[in-house]
Amino acid sequence: MKTLFAHRGMSALAPENTLAAFNLCPEYGLSWVEVDVDVLADGTVVVSHDDTLDRCTNRTGSLYDLTFEDLQDIDAGSWFGDDFIGEPLPTFTQFIELVNKHKLNINVEIKSCTAGWEHTEKLIDGVINGLKKLNRYSDLLVSCFNPLALAEFKRRSPNTAVACLFEKETLQQDWLSILQACHAEAIHVENDGLTKEMVHEMKHHGYAVNVYTVNDLARANQLFNWGVDGVFTDVGHLFPSRYRHG
Ligand code: G3P
Ligand code: CA
């Protein structure tokens, strides 16, 4: 089965990591959604790729200085287009409600929290709590670039499938020991520089292999022909219907 992950939602059609971007997934037949999560000062888990507001909202500053009440004044859509003016920066709870409504499958990427370990533990706790509301029909995969945070998540939630994330530069000879230490089921690797031999080695060790971020259809085809299980894409709507459902 070849999986297309809607990377940060349908992020070419709507502002990334917003409810609007996730809401479009069923319409385009993408049943798997990738989402980035981090945590506010008061422990509220929110959906955001960056740890600052600067790139994708109408505000600036660190997420770690905010509380739930501050979310009311944040516009995470107007930077993308007029149709999205007033789009909120979602909480993880709102995200899970949407996922349940559409019966989506999810890859939750726990961001490698830059505010320290105490904050990271708050994030892990918040994600585990939020996931208690996930309906039993949804498949779930949790990933992180920080293997210490991922191992801690897996220790607290041993029945959840997890994936170690690597960038091209961090994918070294020790990748296997990192996956084993995390008790991971999957490896998520950067597209750039990935070779057929590397994919075969990962598959040989029994791991699901998912590749980010693949917006080129020929490259996606090549990766799938090498045995890759899934690709993260911003342009799922451009892929042939055989990759999509419904
Ligand atoms: O999880 C795959 C991919 O999303 C990781 O990179 O920076 O887009 O979160 P990034
Ligand atoms: Ca991500």
Residue 202 belongs to some domain of the structure: yes
Single-letter code of the amino acid located at 46 = V
Tell the residue nearest (CA) to atom 7 of ligand 1. 49
Query: Does the C-beta of 111 come closer than 6 Å to ligand 1?
Result: no
**pLDDT of the residue at 209:** 98
Q: For ligand 1, is residue 244 a contact (CB within 6 Å)?
A: no
Q: How would you label 143-181 residue by residue, b for 16+ Cβ within 10 Å and e otherwise? A: bbbbbebbbbbbeebeebbbbbbbeeeebeeebeebbee
Number of domains comprising the chain: 1
Q: Is the CB of 51 under 6 A from ligand 1?
A: no
User: Which CATH number goes with the domain that contains 20?
Assistant: 3.20.20.190
Helix then strand then coil, in percent of the chain rounded to 5, is 35, 20, 45
Please count the helices (runs of H) and the strands (runs of E) in the chain. Answer: 7, 9
pTM above 0.75, yes or no: yes
- pLDDT in the model for residue 246: 58
In a domain, 75, yes or no: no
pLDDT value of residue 113: 87
Residue 73 placed within a domain: no
Structural domain includes residue 98: yes
Specify if 60 maps to a domain: no
36 C-alpha to ligand 1 centroid (Å): 8
CA distance 87 to 48: 13
- Would 215 be classed as within a structural domain? yes
Structural domain includes residue 86:
no
Determine the structural domain holding residue 17 and report its residue range. 3-51+92-243
Task: Assess if residue 70 is contained within a domain.
Answer: no
Q: What is residue 19's three-state secondary structure?
A: helix
82 Cα to the center of ligand 2, angstroms:
25
Regions of the chain where pLDDT drops below 50: none
